[in-house]
Amino acid sequence: MDCPSDIIFVVDQSGSIGRQNFAKVQSFLSQLVGRLDIDSGNTRVGVITFSSGVGSGFNLSTHSSVAAVQSAISSLTYSGGGTNTAAALAYVRMVMMTSAAGDRGKVPNAVVVLTDGQSNSQSSTRVCQQFYDLHKRLCRFLGDCVLSQSAGCISRISLKVMNKF
C-alpha cells in the first residue's frame, strides 16, 4: 500500500524533562521510527528539539533510511531551559514545512509534539475545537496521552513516555 507521509517530531528538552527522561524520549522515538516506511521513501521524518528556543534537529529531506534517522535521534543532545512550544511550532511551520526542507506539497503532514508540560505561551499554542476529536482519537491510539481542555480548546497535549521505552 502506497501511503506517503511527512512526519515532524517536536521534542521538548526543557529543564523539567531532565537528562534521563530525554534519553527515554530518544529511545521511544528511535523505536517508533523503526516501524515507519522510511527506507522506501514513502515516509520522511524530521525532528526538532526545543526548550527556551529552538534547538537542534534535522529536516524531512536530511535522512532517507531508518538507520540514518535513528542515528540522528541518538545524536540529539539535552540542553534544559524553558518550554517555548510556540517558537518550536513557528519554526516547524515556517522552516521545516517548506519544499526547501523536504516537505512534499501533495503528501499529508503530521506534527507530533512530545512534551511533559504547558508551553510558556499557552495562548500561542492552543488547538481549536475543530481538532479536538482528532487529537482525542490519536491519543486513544497512542495510549499514555494526557489532554487538558479549557474553553473549548486543548491547552496542553503531552505524551508520557513510559519506563518500558
Contacts of 158 (CB under 8 A, 6+ apart): 113, 114, 115, 116, 117, 145, 146
Return d(Cα 47, Cα 72) in angstroms, integer.
Answer: 9
- Residue 139's pLDDT is 59
Record the pTM. 0.76
pLDDT tens for each residue of 75-110: 999 999 998 888 898 899 999 999 999 999 888 888
Identify the band that residue 122 occupies on the pLDDT scale cut at 50, 70 and 90: low
Give the model's pLDDT for residue 152. Answer: 32
Which range, 24-28, 84-88, 113-117, 161-165, has the best average confidence (pLDDT)? 24-28
pLDDT of residue 144: 45
Tell me: the pLDDT tens digits for 1-49? 468 899 999 999 999 899 999 999 999 999 999 999 999 999 999 999 9
Please report which confidence band the pLDDT of residue 140 belongs to, taking 50, 70 and 90 as the band edges.
low
pLDDT at site 136: 60
pLDDT, averaged across the chain: 79
- Structural domains of the chain ordered from first start: 5-125 (3.40.50.410)
56 or 124, which is more confident = 56
